[in-house]
Structure formats: C-alpha cells, structure tokens
Structure 1
C-alpha cells in the first residue's frame, strides 16, 4: 500500500524542541549590544543630572553663605548729647549745686544684615577724669533687617562724685569739661533659624562739654564689634 511505502519521520524529542524554542527566543548579540549601550547611556544621563543638581545646590549654598547668611557687623553711632542741670555745677557760688544732672545720649543702631538684630539692655557709662560719674540703661529692642534703630539713653550723673574730682575747678575756669563715654549693646543675629551669632557692639567716645553753650564739641568715637 502507498501508505505503507511512506517512511514515517520520528518526532523530535521534547528536550530538543525546548532548546529550539529557547534559541529562537534568545536575543541576538546585536540586540544585546544595543541594550548595553542604552543602559550605559541612561546611567550616564542619570549621573549627569545628579551632578548638575549637586552643583546647583553648592552654588546656592555659596551664594547664601556670602550674601544672606553672612553676618555683617552692626554699626553703632552717637547722634546727639543733651545735658540737663549743668548750671547747678557751674554756679558753685550760688548755693548748693543741683542734685539732678542727666545726660540724654541719642544712639543709632544700624543693622546691615538680612535678619533682625535683637539686643538686650543697652548701657552707657560717662567718665570724667577717669572716674565713672554716670550710668544709664535702655530697655531691650530690635533693629530690623537693613534698618536703623534710633533710641535715647538717659544717663543719671552723680553730682557728688563730680564735685569730688580735683580737676573740676580748673576745667570750669577753662570753660570745657573733658569727658568720655562708653556704650555697649549686646545682642544676636539669627538668619533662617540656622545661622545664629551673638554680637556685642561697643563704642568709646571722647568729647568736650562746652560749659557756656552746654553743647558737645571735638567728639571722637571708636567702634568695635565682638562675636
């Protein structure tokens, strides 16, 4: 019979069929190379983006460090001095000298920082012939960012101590009283709740008080800031 004359081809084993399927599904070397290049390029792009981001952050930090976060020295300036009750000392022949002698010192605190400068009690001391003859304090305050705060410090002068200075009579005859003042303003600057610096602004001034006009002349002030 015709069917008997045809040779039946045996089927391939199952293992061979599985190997053939795996070989057909496996990517070619060309596809592997392209996939490797794609992964390599993606990795380079990611590294580049991260590096660029870190560089931008570093630049921002540097800019903040040299601008906003850089703490500058507050500036203290004596604007005016008003003396009340000086006649009680100069008119020694007219009876007992006045006990009430006050010096009102006008002080300006300039804050060049991008944050407020908060200070505690500002104090001023007045010296005559090296002796402390008066002291005064001002309540705590705030110098706003890049603003100037004006305040008056009232110094109460101890007349009895002035009258005990040996050079008083000679200075009264010359018409000029040489005095010195020392003002101290302790405070702190806090920027972005991160940078906090304590500062003490100090000012030493020498001046001459004109007895006739009750005005200050030849004033010379030196300022220092310590952190």
Structure 2
C-alpha cells in the first residue's frame, strides 16, 4: 500500500473588512465638498469686494469737476475828464480780480500757480500770477489777484478815445486758468485744469466793471 501524501494546508485567506471602501469614499467626498465650499466663499467674498470698490469709485471716490467763479473785478487808477480824453490817475492802472474755486470732492484739490490774463482787441494788456494752494474737501477757496495793466498797449489803439467817448465803456475779456490734481487715499488721482473766459465792459467814469459774462471749461 502506498503511503498517503502529505497535504499541505492552504494559507488562510485574508478577508478585507467590508467597511474600508465606503469609509475612503466618504472621506474623499467630504474633502471635495470642503473644497467646493472654500471656493464658493472665495468667489462670493471677491464679488462683494469688487462691488464695494466699484460703488466707492463711482460715488464717494468719483472725482468731480472743481467749480470756478468770477466774483467781481475792480479797477484802480483810471478816470475820465471831458468824456473824450482818458486821464490816468498816477502812472499805473490795475484790476483786482476776485476768483473762487469750489472743490466738490471728498479729498483736497491741490492746484499750481493760477494765471489771469486781460485782453483788449486780441492783445494781452495785463497779466497776473497767483500762488499755488489747496482747496479742502467740500470747501471753497477765494483768491484776489492784482492784474497790472500795460497802458502803452491801450494807447497804441487809435480808436481808443473814440470808443470811450462814445459809450464810456472799454470792452475787455479775461482768461483765468487753474490747474491741479485730486488724490483720494493715494489710489485715485486725477489731473484737472479749470479754465474760464469772461467778457466785460470797464465803465471809465465809475471805475467799475459791468456786463460780465463768463464761460467755463474743464480739462481732465
């Protein structure tokens, strides 16, 4: 009889827990949901910030045009005698130009030198330069500039005496320029130039200005 062969027992089978796969899938799903939540929060926060910034830019931070105004002009050193001659009181004629600049912005408007020129029949007969300055937020700054008149340029016109004797008025016009910039929180900065042209009539007898009409222009 043959001896029975030795039967080598089989290795015990490794049984994986049935719960491993479901747990892994749940963790992955949980991480995915967290990422989606974080991304959604970032997008919503970004949209809110963009909306707030745009609202501020178009409301509080929007740069508005400064408003320039001619308050009045006075004349010194000019008089009439017989109505056909012009007499100079002293050797100088000057005009005091009263100009105001209103700043409607929520930040200061800093301006450089202010210039005012007086023209008679297209010729510059007077010039003035004002110092730089600052108009605070929602404030109005007022400037009085003395314009020295170049008498010789008036007297070069042969029709000057006839014009004055006929109406008693001397028609001139002025050009005022104020250039500066508005800067809000160091972020929004805009350069602004305010210009104003005024036509006026100088009443020789009264040494006063009448019939003043001004037009404004803004360069941004």
Q: State the TM-score, normalized to the length of structure 2.
A: 0.85
Pairwise mapping of residues 71-82 of structure 1 onto structure 2 (< 5 A)? 71-82=63-74
Pairwise mapping of residues 131-210 of structure 1 onto structure 2 (< 5 A)? 131-173=123-165, 174-210=167-203
CA distance in 2, matches of 1:12, 1:85: 129
1:193 offset after TM fit, Å? 1.2
* Structure 2 counterpart of 1:36, from 15, 28, 32: 28
CA distance in 2, matches of 1:204, 1:157: 18
CA distance in 1, matches of 2:108, 2:192: 12
Alpha carbons of structure 1 residues 129 and 120: separation in structure 2 relative to 1, 3 Å: same
Alpha carbons of structure 1 residues 172 and 98: separation in structure 2 relative to 1, 3 Å: farther
- The 8 Å contact of residues 78 and 88 in structure 2, kept in 1 or not, is answered as no
Q: State the TM-score, normalized to the length of structure 1.
A: 0.83
Alpha carbons of structure 1 residues 58 and 77: separation in structure 2 relative to 1, 3 Å: same
User: Number of residue pairs matched?
Assistant: 210
CA distance in 2, matches of 1:126, 1:63: 43
Gaps of 5+ in 2: 1-7
Alpha carbons of structure 1 residues 11 and 106: separation in structure 2 relative to 1, 3 Å: farther
1:24-62 Cα offsets, whole Å, 9 max, x none, are 4x7434333432332232122111100111101110221
CA distance in 1, matches of 2:95, 2:42: 63
1:105 offset after TM fit, Å? 0.6
Please state if 1:114 is matched with 2:106.
yes
CA distance in 1, matches of 2:86, 2:163: 18
RMSD: 2.4
- The 8 Å contact of residues 109 and 135 in structure 2, kept in 1 or not, is answered as yes
Higher-Rg member (1/2): 1
Alpha carbons of structure 1 residues 34 and 159: separation in structure 2 relative to 1, 3 Å: same
Q: Please identify which structure carries the higher helix content.
A: 1
* Structure 2 counterpart of 1:221, from 210, 214, 220: 214
Gaps of 5+ in 1: 1-9
CA distance in 1, matches of 2:88, 2:212: 31
CA distance in 2, matches of 1:156, 1:11: 124
